[in-house]
Amino acid sequence: MAEPGKRSPRKPSPVLADPETVARVSRATAKGVHAVVTASGATARFVGHHSAAAAKWTWPRLRRLGGACARGCWRATLAIGRWTWSHKRPLASVGHRLLWWGALAILVLVGRALLSADGDPELVGAALLWFAAGWSMSVLVLLGASEKRMRVAALALAGGHGSLAALAWIATATI
């Protein structure tokens, strides 16, 4: 047994191969590794040189292309802005109609789901949020529309949203 703190001596391992064979394999491996290292070094130098040349050729062209794209996008943005500013009344009218129809779709779809919910508290809570969103859309149409008939229709739609929201709120209080 070895002393504490000292390692026990290792037993010599038996020789498993002929020393001449080991020397021949080592020489052959060294030659093969040298060939691989030489080939990979040459490949790396070739790729590095040509990558740098390609980057020197590509960078100015990409920079000009990027600048041209940025100028084109800026011009398109300005043209769209000018067009929308000159057509703001018809666009606002279309926007009000989209808001009104969206609020009507919310009222119909969520109202049907609420009336057939059978007391599902998750659906009733979600319906309250949907009715608040539809009520907000109706109020935006009510305040912003220039036609009287759109304002009257938005007032009726806001009343429908408010009444169904009150129904959903009462249903959440009792559940």
pLDDT in tens, 114-162: 878 676 778 888 888 999 999 999 999 999 999 999 999 999 999 999 9
Residues 159 and 114 in one domain: yes
53 to 39, 44, 142, 157: CA distances (angstroms) = 21, 14, 65, 68
Sign of CA dihedral 17, 21, 23, 27: negative
Residue 4 is assigned to a structural domain of this protein:
no
Residues 98 and 159 in one domain: yes
In percent, the amount of the chain with pLDDT more than 90 equals 47
8 Å CB contact between 96 and 150 = yes
Residues 169 and 95 in one domain: yes
The whole domain housing 65 covers: 18-86
**Range with lowest mean pLDDT among 28-37, 92-101, 120-129, 154-163:** 28-37
pLDDT band at 13 (very low <50, low <70, confident <90, very high): low
Residues 108 and 119 in one domain: yes
Residues 93 and 126 in one domain: yes
Last residue of a domain, one of 64, 86, 108: 86
pLDDT in tens, 55-72: 888 899 999 999 999 999
